Amino acid sequence: MAETRPAALTSADAPTPGTAGDEIYELLRELFPICRSISGDGVRQTFELLAPYLPLMLSEVPTGTQVFDWTVPREWNIRDAWIDDGDGNRVVDFRASNLHVLGYSTPVRTKLPLAELREHLFTHPTEPDWIPFRTSYYNENWGFCLATRQLDALPDGEYEVCIDSTLEDGSISYAEAVFPGELDDEILVTTYSCHPSLANDNCSGIALLAVLGKYLADSSLRYTYRLLFSPGSIGPISWLAANEGRLDRVKHGLVASCVGDPGRPTYKQSRRGDAEIDRAVASVLRQRGDHEVRPFVPLGGDERQFNSPGIDLPVGALSRTPANEFRGYHSSADNLDLVRPDALGDSFDLYWTVFGVLERNRRFENLNPKGEPQLGKRGLYRAIAGGTSEEEALLWVLNLSDGGHDLIDISDRSGLPFETIHEASDALEAATLLQPL
Ligand code: ZN
């Protein structure tokens, strides 16, 4: 029987969390300096850096394209930006931090007094030393972001400002990699690709998906895996509009974000709340220790698009400390010191373990449902090393294999680890006491 069972990835296909964490951190460091936005060359440069890890297919959606209720905006690129104090000193300099420029700033070159310039300056509401991350995607504006202390140090007087940017017809870019399995059914894992130099909020998700892709490529898979990198909101909306006819292939999905901080894992359920992905992630988290599971709310990241009522895909969001809850969120404090290789490695292991549960999860029919089958004569009872939990698992699997429960359900109800339940189902199937449905 075992030889006819479909492929399913195992932990043997993956690196140790330590190795994966180092690999993800290394890529994250390369991604960090790039000035990304919802469009532009920074995004393309990002995808080029991912190319050695996974086979990316790039899509460009032209400015003006109607995608559901949205219109693809003009493409933004930036070369340089600064504020000069009139004595040739760059008191604010894009080259020192790309967070200094309000994202999607229109080009400007002018002189103006500090009082007028202030209308275009943004500071962090609570932390005087942090540069905030601000954008104005769909509302034309220009501006600079700086630390409150930096602003307070500027004397009155006239300043020269320059934002050497372009906002022109072009496209937004998204990229996807597909790893075919035995089934056309897909597991969709997505992340956004639109944040500049922010380490946890964005770079961590991009780097995690790239390294997951690297190891999926070498694994034998039951499901087909699709990894999608796209700019927040407009990206998933564009992808969903382009793929509307084939969305029924997506059986399970996860949005990856903020996976590099040392906080505990947090899972936000899909809109359905009881989808297989919701049960799989909850089951894995329970076995791993401290974590939080939250119900779906129509706020947050790209899960909003996948869970909109006309799409309604079973897509949850799996992060560590969620965006806007970790210290440093959307500021210069979300840097390479905030993210940790061990947290990135733990996130890799978490995703990989969830994939493993989805790969192995099945429903079975008990072929001997009238009374318990006699396990002893089949060498199953008390013959399994380790004793009671393995024996309990056999009885739980037999009892709940009535067609209405899958292995995740049985793991939940019995309180036994999914792996133990799965091993019991393997043994029972080999003894022809179970048949997969
Ligand atoms: Zn963000």
Domains of the chain: 11-72+171-360 (3.40.630.10), 75-168 (3.50.30.90), 363-436 (1.10.10.10)
Q: How far apart are CA 37 and CA 149, in angstroms?
A: 26
**Residue 91 in 3-state DSSP?**
strand
In angstroms, what is the span from residue 257 Cα to ligand 1's centroid? Answer: 9
In angstroms, what is the span from residue 330 Cα to ligand 1's centroid? Answer: 6
CB 229 within 8 A of CB 302: no
In angstroms, what is the span from residue 85 Cα to ligand 1's centroid? Answer: 31
Q: How many CB atoms lie within 10 A of CB 26?
A: 13
Take residue 20 and report the two structure tokens written for it.
Answer: 């994966």
In angstroms, what is the span from residue 319 Cα to ligand 1's centroid? Answer: 13
Concatenating the DSSP letter of every residue in 158-193 gives EEEEEEEEEEES-EEEEEEEEE--SSS-EEEEEEE-
In angstroms, what is the span from residue 153 Cα to ligand 1's centroid? Answer: 29
CB 243 within 8 A of CB 338: no
Output the tens digit of pLDDT for each of the chain's 437 residues: 334 455 567 767 889 999 999 999 999 999 999 999 999 999 999 999 999 999 999 999 999 999 999 999 999 999 999 999 999 999 999 999 999 999 999 999 999 999 999 999 999 999 999 999 999 998 999 999 999 999 999 999 999 999 999 999 999 999 999 999 999 999 999 999 999 999 999 999 999 999 999 999 999 999 999 999 999 999 999 999 999 999 999 999 999 999 999 999 999 999 999 999 999 999 999 999 999 999 999 999 999 999 999 999 999 999 999 999 999 999 999 999 999 999 999 999 999 999 999 999 999 999 999 999 998 888 887 655 556 788 899 999 999 999 999 999 999 999 999 999 999 999 999 999 999 99
Q: How far apart are CA 53 and CA 175, in angstroms?
A: 13
E strand map for 55-170 = 57-62, 66-67, 70-71, 75-84, 90-93, 108-113, 121-122, 144-145, 158-168
In angstroms, what is the span from residue 404 Cα to ligand 1's centroid? Answer: 41
Take residue 261 and report the two structure tokens written for it.
Answer: 């901080």
In angstroms, what is the span from residue 199 Cα to ligand 1's centroid? Answer: 10
CB 229 within 8 A of CB 47: yes
In angstroms, what is the span from residue 196 Cα to ligand 1's centroid? Answer: 10
Residues forming a β-bridge with 363:
406
CB 322 within 8 A of CB 316: no
In angstroms, what is the span from residue 170 Cα to ligand 1's centroid? Answer: 24
